[in-house]
Structures are given as C-alpha cells and as structure tokens.
Chains A and B, each alone.
Chain A
Amino acid sequence: MSLEAAGFWGLALVLLASSLAVVLSKNLFHSVLYLAVALVATAGVFLLLQAEFLAAVQVLLYAGGVVTIVVFAIVVTERLVGERLAQTNRGVFTGGLVSLAVLVWIVVFIAGAKLPAAAPPLTGDLTQAIGRDLLTRFVLPFELLAVLFLAGLLGALFFARKEE
C-alpha cells in the first residue's frame, strides 16, 4: 500500500465518520464541530489530489468561515429560544432507504464507467494555472461572482435590519 493509498483510506475513514456524526448527532453544536472535522478532512483529500491552493481555501473559508457563521447562528437562535436546540431525525428509515438507493445506483454507475486508473503527471504549477485562468478564461463568471456576493450582502443586510 502506497503512502497515497494509506492517506486516502485514512482520510476517507475520518471523513465518512465525521459526516455521519454531523447528520446523526443529537447535539447541534456537536454536529457543527463534526462538520469542521469533515471539512478539514476534505482539505486533506484535496492535498492528496495535489490541489494545495484549494485545500488552503477549503480550510480558511469553509472550515473557518462557514463553521464560525453556523456557530453564530446557533448561539443567536438559542438565545432567542432560551433553551438548548434539540436536534433529532425523523423518517430515518425512509430517508436512509432513499439515500442508500441513490448511493447504490451512483456506485453501480461509477463501477460501470470507464475511468482513468492513474493520474497523469502534473505539468507546471496548479495554483499558477488557477490564477491565470481565473482572470482570463473565467473572468466573466469571476466578475459575476462579485455581483452575486454584493446581492448576498444586500440580502443579508435586508434580513438583518430591524423590524419596522
């Protein structure tokens, strides 16, 4: 077993376990913490795939940003409601069945597909390539993203304003 394989299986284990914990934990707060773990593990997967920049972004934005916001939200909500937020599941059997069916079919699909067995060797710096593409090929979506953020910002402000 190569180092890569070992890393992959290890990370996969952590990732799946923490993900299950996210959706099953009774405590919302714990769920969020498990999410953070899952996200960091994903960053690890990215590293395995030699996408260092994305791994960094994942950790900084996702694990940092998202988790912080969610924690905030929980705190705010709990203060409003005045009690610990309970977190239960409902229709576990049906949900599980449907999810499992989806999983099975995706896996069957993947198993049937012809996929490359090994990654091609890397040519050049991926981060550099991202930077160049972002400002050339994908400059329009990139700018549109800015507009989207602006809209999101306005929306958040709108929601957050004081009740009239």
Chain B
Amino acid sequence: MNAGTLALAALGLPFCSFVLLAVVPPLRRAGRVAGALSIAAIGGSLLASLVLGRTLPRESVELTWPWLPAEGGPMATVGILVDHLAASMLVLVALVSFLVQLYSLGYLEHETPPALGRYYAYHSLFAFSMLGLVLASNFLQMFIFWELVGLCSYLLIGFWYTKPEAARAAVKAFWVTKAGDLGFIIGIVLLWGQAGTFQFSGLFQMAADRTLPTAGLALIMFLIYLGAVGKSAQFPLHVWLPDAMEGPTPVSALIHAATMVAAGVYLVSRVYPLFLLTPDVLALIGWVGAFTALLAATLGLVQADIKRVLAYSTVSQLGFMMAALGAGAAAAGFFHLLTHGLFKALLFLGAGAVIHAVGTNDIWKMGRLYRAMPQTAIVFLVGTLALAGIWPFAGFFSKDAVLAGVWEGGLTTPFLMLALTVFLTAFYMFRVVFVVFFGNRPAEGHPHDVPLVMSGPLWILAILTLGWGISLAASGGEEKAHGPEWIPWLASGLAVAGIVFAWLTYQKRAVSADALARTFRPLYVAALSKFWLDDLYGGIYRGLLLGFSRLVGWVDRYLVDGLVNLASAWTLRWGDGLRRIQTGRAQDYLYGVAFGLLLVIVWSYWR
C-alpha cells in the first residue's frame, strides 16, 4: 500500500465507525459494542499510521479532489497531504486516541449503554476530524476539520449535559474558540483574495518563488494566527480551557491536552513557510506564547482542582510551543508538541485514575495515595518528571530544545519568562504530586488501583515517555537544539529547584504555603480571580452583547415594527371615520346612485 492509501485508510476507519454509530441506533445503544467498534476503528488507524510512518517516502504525498467547482477549474479542493510533519502528528493522534478510548471503557463503566454509545460516536467523529485536520492539504479543509474538532470538543465537554457547569463550559469553549476562528476564516478568505488558492503546496511554491504578494500578508497571517490563539488557548483566549475540564477526564486527556489544543501549534507549523514571510507576526507569536506560558503557570499555582492544575499547565506548555515557533525554532516547537502530547495525556489519564478512585477533583481531599494506588503514583510521577523537564524523560529534551530555540531566536525577555515558567512548572506539578500521593493526611474512602483496561494505557504512555527520552539520550539527542551549553543545566537546575521548593512547602512543611500567599499577595489574589479575564469576558457577553441585542430587539419590536403598527392603526382610525358615511340603509346608498346618475348625464352632456 502506498502512503496515500494508508493515510486514507487511517482517516476513513474512524469515519466509517462514526457513520455506523450515528445511523444505526441499536448499535449505538449497545454501549460497549459501540465502544469496541470505535476502538477497533481507531486501532486500525493507528496501525495504518505506524506503517505510514515507517514507509514514508522522502517527498510529500499529495492527493486532491475537486470540492467546490467553478468555471475554469475547481475553486477549492479536498485532499490529503502526507509529509513527515503530518505523519508524526498522525501517529500521535491515533495513538493517544486509541489509548484514551480504551481507557474510557474502564473510566465510564457506570454510564448507561446509550450514553456510552454516544460517547464513542463522538470519539470516532473526533478521531476522524483530528486526522483530517492533520492530513489537510489546504486551508479550507484545515478550517473544516478545525471546526469539526471544535464541535467534538463542545459535544464531549458537554457529555454530561445535564450538569449546568458542563453545559456552560461546553458553550463557552465553543464561543471562545469560534471567536478566534473568525480571524482564521477572514484570514483564509483574504489569503484567497491575495493568492487565489487555498492549497498549501501552491502557497508554499508562491512563497518560495516570492510571487506571493506581501502587501497585507502580515495582517492575513495575524488573522490566521488568531485561529490558533483560540484553539491553542493562547492569551487572551485561554479562558475556555480550564473550564473545559468539566468534561470526562479521558476527553480532557485526548482533546484538551494532547491533540486538539495542539492543533493551533500544528497549524502554525504546517504553514510555517508563510509565517516566515512575516517576521513581525512570528515575533508576536513568540511573545504571546511566552507570556501565556508564564501567566498560566502562575494560575496553575493556586488551583485546588487537580484537572485545572493540569489544564493550566497545558496552556502553559502550549505557550512554550508557540514561543518556539515564534522564535523560529519550528522543529523544537513541534517536538515539544509530540512529547507533551504523550506525557500530558499520561498525566490526565493518571489524574483520571485518581479521580475515579477517590471520587473528587479536589487535591486537598486526597493524600497518601501512593499506598492505595502505587501503579498510578508511579506513572503520574513519570509524567510529572517529564513535564518538569528532568533528564532523561522526553520532556527534558523537548523543553531544552524550545528554550534553546527561543534564546537563539533572540527573544531574550520571552526566554526569561519561559525560564521562570520552568521553575514554576516544576513547583506546581510537584505540589500536586506531594499533596495527592504523599502528604500527611490519607484520602477519604477506600481508593484502589484501577483495572487493567485503564492502567494498560497508563503504562504504555509512561513507557513511551521514558523510553523515548532514554533513546534520545542514548542517541545523543539529534533533535537537541544547537543552543549554548548552559541552557540544559539552567533548565534542569530551575526544575530541580522547583521540585525541592515544592517538597519543602508541601511535604516537609518547612515553608508555609500561607506565608507564601501572603508574601505574593497581589499576585495570589489576581491568580485566584484568574486575572479577572473571565469577569471581563462575562461582562462583555452579558452587558455589551446581550444588552446590545436586547436594545436591537427592542428597537425592532417597538420602533421599526412600531412604525408599521402606527401606519396600520392610523389606517384603522381613518377607516373608522369614513365608515360613518356608511349608514347601512339602502336608500342612502340610492342617493349615491342618483347623484352618480346625475353626474353621468351632466358629464355626457357637456362632453
């Protein structure tokens, strides 16, 4: 099988599974059977992606079919574009999807069969959409799948739709990302107006030939980047991601940690040749990324909900990736995307195991869980170490590459922000580890380790995280950045410092957390209030948008339509006045006839 067929197979299997689940209600309502079907499909996709990754030709493979016909050739096409970037992403998406779907069988064992069927139908749709996004060969198709993954995110966040918080979070996620997508779609339209095509290959060719008109290109690329800001939760549109944790934890692992939120990073990487033409936009991406990383890290410090800590850390890590891209280190950013996809999925699934066992998200109600759930504790620790960037875990190498890339890119201030973030990351992650798995107080209830269907995926991800890192270490790290020698030492030092500080604060209690909060009081308060961004958006939504809509609605009903009613009421009144000459007596009418007769005679006489 050639690369195109394999890619199509990887794309088509989840689609078939989704269609079957969608149009055959008995199958969907069968619950676990639906799950098995969906898992089999994504398993097939994984297989196809792995084979594809191994047999990938050096040249990129592109297949297209016309989608929107127009006179003189199609206006838009659909197709697939397979190159190394797409293939690696394909493997990541298929792998994490497969593991998460497997894990969900255990995590959602108490759901009713129809709900489970629905869950897997959404998952199949998501897998299809995400794979389609990865394989997209043009901007339009990218946008199509971009929106579809957004839809899946919406549906899965709202999976427990009877929970008001979940419903609110789902809608919020959709709106916020959609706000970014407005920029994306305007950018696509403008780019089409500029270049006349959506096709990546055509655009890259034009960029390489310098035939792409550069006037206004910065604006276009900025608008396209806005799409990435929404999807990849960059400041200031990051507010939806923490709320999205209302969804089932496996969903958070898959969509809101490993794959969909990385789509923005993938987008920027995908069309990097175009971004290279607009260095100002790239610099902006770098600054915003670094700022997002730092901001989210400070927010992660104060969360009590284990999933929210992880959510902010996701935002923060996405900031790392974006910063790398902005600094010109596209490879490093994408590398971090891949490693982060693995260990963040691991962390979320581990958190899911904890939540599943304890029945709460609140870290202060957990403690000493390493005794009850040693397996989970180990894999969670692996994930945390990788996230903190400790040698020889995969995260060390990618974070190192990002830092080196940013330094080399000359973004000094963002580099300092990222370095600070490394310290904070280690600190807040180990805060969770110490409080949840060690600590002094045991958790309530009788937690126990998770069944194999859940622990299996955890172990696989843990082994991959560690194994990949070890293999990189062994090979001397060819992906290693070409930055100065001191950067790995600095990063490791900061991470270790963070770990030690967390140990002192939350395990030894040598440093009082309250005292820390008091010392950094303004920051602490601001972080607790999420820097008032949510309030700001809420105010804009409720006050400005709904208020303005109410005004427009009122104007329409009572002024525009009021005028219509005024005309009608006047007509009625006039009619009422004129009605009085209609006495209803035939004889009065006959007078009218007589006068008419007279008129006719006089007229015919004088004519």
Residues on A close to B: CB < 8 A?
94, 98-99, 101-102, 105-106, 108-109, 112
Chosen A-B contacts, 21 in total, with CB atoms closer than 8 Å, are A94-B591, A98-B591, A98-B594, A98-B595, A98-B598, A99-B594, A101-B598, A102-B594, A102-B597, A102-B598, A102-B601, A105-B598, A105-B601, A105-B602, A105-B605, A106-B601, A108-B605, A109-B601, A109-B604, A109-B605, A112-B605
The 8 A-B residue pairs whose C-beta atoms are closest, nearest first, are: A105-B601, A98-B594, A109-B601, A109-B605, A101-B598, A102-B598, A102-B594, A105-B598
CB distance from A82 to the nearest CB of B (A): 25
What 0/1 readout, one digit per residue, does chain B (573-607) give for beta carbons within 8 Å of chain A? 00000000000000000010011011001101100
A112 CA to B604 CA, complexed, in Å: 12
CB-CB < 8 A to A112: which residues of B?
605
- In the complex, which residue of chain A has the Cβ closest to the Cβ of B588? A91
CB distance from A96 to the nearest CB of B (A): 12
A94 CA to B591 CA, complexed, in Å: 9
A56 CA to B595 CA, complexed, in Å: 36
CB distance from B448 to the nearest CB of A (A): 86
A109 CA to B604 CA, complexed, in Å: 9
A99 CA to B590 CA, complexed, in Å: 11
CB-CB < 8 A to B601: which residues of A?
102, 105-106, 109
15 new A-B contacts at CB < 8 Å, known A98-B594, A112-B605: A94-B591, A98-B591, A98-B598, A99-B594, A102-B594, A102-B597, A102-B601, A105-B598, A105-B601, A105-B602, A105-B605, A106-B601, A108-B605, A109-B604, A109-B605
A34 CA to B602 CA, complexed, in Å: 33
A106 CA to B597 CA, complexed, in Å: 10
A30 CA to B604 CA, complexed, in Å: 39
CB-CB < 8 A to A109: which residues of B?
601, 604-605
CB-CB < 8 A to A101: which residues of B?
598
CB distance from B19 to the nearest CB of A (A): 66
CB-CB < 8 A to A105: which residues of B?
598, 601-602, 605
- In the complex, which residue of chain A has the Cβ closest to the Cβ of B602? A105
A105 CA to B605 CA, complexed, in Å: 9
CB-CB < 8 A to A99: which residues of B?
594
CB-CB < 8 A to B598: which residues of A?
98, 101-102, 105
A112 CA to B597 CA, complexed, in Å: 18
A56 CA to B168 CA, complexed, in Å: 97
A73 CA to B601 CA, complexed, in Å: 36
CB-CB < 8 A to B597: which residues of A?
102
A16 CA to B159 CA, complexed, in Å: 99
- In the complex, which residue of chain A has the Cβ closest to the Cβ of B591? A98
CB-CB < 8 A to B591: which residues of A?
94, 98
CB distance from A113 to the nearest CB of B (A): 10
A109 CA to B602 CA, complexed, in Å: 9
CB distance from A39 to the nearest CB of B (A): 22
CB-CB < 8 A to A102: which residues of B?
594, 597-598, 601
CB distance from B551 to the nearest CB of A (A): 59
A102 CA to B594 CA, complexed, in Å: 7
A94 CA to B598 CA, complexed, in Å: 14
CB distance from B592 to the nearest CB of A (A): 11
A108 CA to B595 CA, complexed, in Å: 17
What 0/1 readout, one digit per residue, does chain B (246-282) give for beta carbons within 8 Å of chain A? 0000000000000000000000000000000000000
A105 CA to B606 CA, complexed, in Å: 11
CB-CB < 8 A to B602: which residues of A?
105
CB-CB < 8 A to B605: which residues of A?
105, 108-109, 112
- In the complex, which residue of chain A has the Cβ closest to the Cβ of B605? A109
A98 CA to B601 CA, complexed, in Å: 13
A98 CA to B594 CA, complexed, in Å: 7
A98 CA to B595 CA, complexed, in Å: 8
CB-CB < 8 A to A98: which residues of B?
591, 594-595, 598
CB distance from A102 to the nearest CB of B (A): 6
CB distance from A105 to the nearest CB of B (A): 5
- In the complex, which residue of chain A has the Cβ closest to the Cβ of B601? A105
A99, A109, A112: which has the most chain B beta carbons within 10 Å? Answer: A109
A66 CA to B582 CA, complexed, in Å: 32
- In the complex, which residue of chain B has the Cβ closest to the Cβ of A99? B594
CB-CB < 8 A to A106: which residues of B?
601
A105 CA to B595 CA, complexed, in Å: 12
What 0/1 readout, one digit per residue, does chain B (370-405) give for beta carbons within 8 Å of chain A? 000000000000000000000000000000000000
A145 CA to B486 CA, complexed, in Å: 118
A102 CA to B597 CA, complexed, in Å: 8
CB distance from A145 to the nearest CB of B (A): 25
CB-CB < 8 A to A108: which residues of B?
605
What 0/1 readout, one digit per residue, does chain B (80-111) give for beta carbons within 8 Å of chain A? 00000000000000000000000000000000
A98 CA to B23 CA, complexed, in Å: 83
- In the complex, which residue of chain B has the Cβ closest to the Cβ of A94? B591
CB distance from B122 to the nearest CB of A (A): 67
CB within 8 Å of A: which B283-329 residues: none
A109 CA to B606 CA, complexed, in Å: 10
A102 CA to B601 CA, complexed, in Å: 9
- In the complex, which residue of chain A has the Cβ closest to the Cβ of B599? A105
CB distance from A91 to the nearest CB of B (A): 8
A105 CA to B601 CA, complexed, in Å: 7
CB distance from A47 to the nearest CB of B (A): 30
A105 CA to B599 CA, complexed, in Å: 10
CB-CB < 8 A to B594: which residues of A?
98-99, 102
CB distance from B586 to the nearest CB of A (A): 13
CB distance from A90 to the nearest CB of B (A): 8
CB within 8 Å of A: which B28-71 residues: none
- In the complex, which residue of chain A has the Cβ closest to the Cβ of B597? A102
CB distance from A43 to the nearest CB of B (A): 27
A92 CA to B562 CA, complexed, in Å: 50
CB distance from B403 to the nearest CB of A (A): 100
CB-CB < 8 A to B604: which residues of A?
109
CB distance from B559 to the nearest CB of A (A): 50
CB distance from A36 to the nearest CB of B (A): 24
A112 CA to B601 CA, complexed, in Å: 12
CB distance from B126 to the nearest CB of A (A): 72
CB distance from B584 to the nearest CB of A (A): 16
CB distance from B599 to the nearest CB of A (A): 10
- In the complex, which residue of chain B has the Cβ closest to the Cβ of A108? B605
CB distance from A65 to the nearest CB of B (A): 24
A94 CA to B595 CA, complexed, in Å: 12
A88 CA to B264 CA, complexed, in Å: 98
- In the complex, which residue of chain B has the Cβ closest to the Cβ of A98? B594
A101 CA to B597 CA, complexed, in Å: 10
CB distance from A161 to the nearest CB of B (A): 25
A94, A99, A105, A108: which has the most chain B beta carbons within 10 Å? Answer: A105
CB distance from A93 to the nearest CB of B (A): 13
